[in-house]
Amino acid sequence: MQRRALKAATVLALSGSLVGGAAVTAHSEPAEQSERHAEIRNVIYLLGDGMGRTHVTAGRERYYGAAGRLNMEKLPFTGAVATYAVEKDSTRPALVTDSASSATAWSSGVKTYNAAIGVDAYEKKVATLMEQAKAAGFATGNVSTAEITDATPAAQFSHALLRGCQGPVYTDAACLPKKADGTYESAPADRTLITPIAEQIARNGTADVVLGGGLARFEPDDQKALQAQGYQVLGSFGDPALPAQTAASQKAATKADLAAAKGRKVVGLFNRGNLTVEQAKAGLPADAPQRQEPTLAEMTNKAVSLLGKNNRKGFFLQVEGALIDKRSHANDAAQTLGEVKAFDDAVAAAVDFAKRDGHTLVIVTADHECAGFNIIEKGSYANAEAAAPPANTDGGNTANNSTPSRSTSGAKDPARSSGIVNGAGAKDPKNFAPATFRTPDDPAGVTDGSADASLWLTYLSGNHTGADVPIFAYGPGGQRFAASQDNTELYGKMYAALFRKAPRH
């Protein structure tokens, strides 16, 4: 079954949007106290994908020292979020979530199975907050440093039985779950659920502003569909005359294109895959195309500007710092820390707007923790003898590859715990022992990778963990998030902030 064969069956389904604790910490300055009762017109929801409590702590110590604070840590309301999923066709908990089920939890308020996008555990489509906001007349935006078709952004404006059904073409393997006997499930009556996510995004009009990566997921007819709805498409989705779209036929948008964008509806895809991690980008030649990608803070500022001036009712914006997770999977501590900082810069951009506006609620959290990131005692080592070490390459954007690259098929090797991975041990690709970093508290002359550096970091694995994640909030209604809460509760609290009433499904 090819992609175009699905379009006739799904166009009608895609053309319209669905309509559908105890306090941990709360401290407010006088100005913030007055904002607690202000009218909420805008909600900005920022998440650092894979960002656990240690990611935040390590980012703070790396860039600001032990007594410093990240921008997110300066927000007046803090709490914690539980992240577990459920097993398919069941209510039995799956204690470690993936990004798809977690994103569906806060987007739609339901627990679902890992890999599900915008459907419950029984494969029933559920309305998303972005769809509901759009239907109610709010402006809407979705920003990510990942492919915009990836799980976290996708859960706000698409529905799929499997997160891998991104496009550009349909395959059973990517779009249909398997049964216990290994065969694929039958195609559902609602063909939207097996329509490539890129195709859904291009036709349902759920987000007014779409900024991120994933250009390779789209085709020229997707650009045509977007433009027919009034979108300003930055760059080019390709040549309609070509049977397959390549890097040569597609033109990624640039930060200059973004700066010049003025449309009420804007789509900008800045890389064929994920965007480039900031540490890797800084090391590329000035004329490298990745150097033309905007930062997450720049995309956030532009999205807020476009949404804020184009709709009097208000807006709902989701912003994802996706590469914290992807570089944690790779066990690359240096890249991980850089992405925490880049995400925190986007938090600052959102909060700066909220402070000027006075009617904006800003929420900062994560979907799950990734890789068991740990701060360990100086001079200690990790027992990191995995038979299959985490891959540290990015097939979609090779600029993000760690150096050296690591094979995932090596046997156990005790040498992996013998040195500092970004110091002397870096020459051995099997070695992923502690990474060390200088902090502002270190004496002059201390360098990253040295035994004298004060910040020693290691990973438990290359996968997600079930740890609770932090949450921070600013602005009117922010005190509601100063609690220990489940990720599904975030949907209800954001819905109440926008609509001033309890959610309906």
Bridging pattern class, strands 209-213 and 435-437: unpaired
DSSP E strand stretches across 53-185 = 77-82, 85-86, 93-94, 139-147
Output the CA torsion sign for 345, 103, 503, 192: positive
Supply the DSSP string of 302-342, one letter for each residue: HHHHHHHHH-SS-EEEEEEETHHHHHHHTT-HHHHHHHHHH
Q: Is 373 exposed, middle or buried (0-12, 13-18, 19+ CB in 10 A)?
A: buried
Indicate the DSSP class of residue 227: H
Active site residue 17: no
CA 304 centroid distance within chain: 17
CA distances in angstroms from 489 to 1, 153, 239, 462, listed in the order given: 38, 19, 44, 28
* Phi, psi angles (nearest 5°) of residue 144: -155, 150
* Tokens linked to 93: 């908990």
Q: Is the peptide bond before 503 cis (omega within 30 degrees of 0)?
A: no
Bridging pattern class, strands 77-82 and 469-474: antiparallel
List, in order, residues 6 or more apart from 98 with CB less than 8 Å away: 85, 114, 115, 151, 163, 368, 464
Which of 368, 326, 328 minimizes the C-alpha distance to 83? 368
Q: Is the peptide bond before 168 cis (omega within 30 degrees of 0)?
A: yes
Indicate the DSSP class of residue 117: B
* Phi, psi angles (nearest 5°) of residue 235: 75, -155
Give the active site residue among 99, 101, 144, 158: 99
Q: Using CA atoms, how far apart are residues 48 and 491, in angstroms rounded to an integer?
A: 17
Active site amino acids: 99
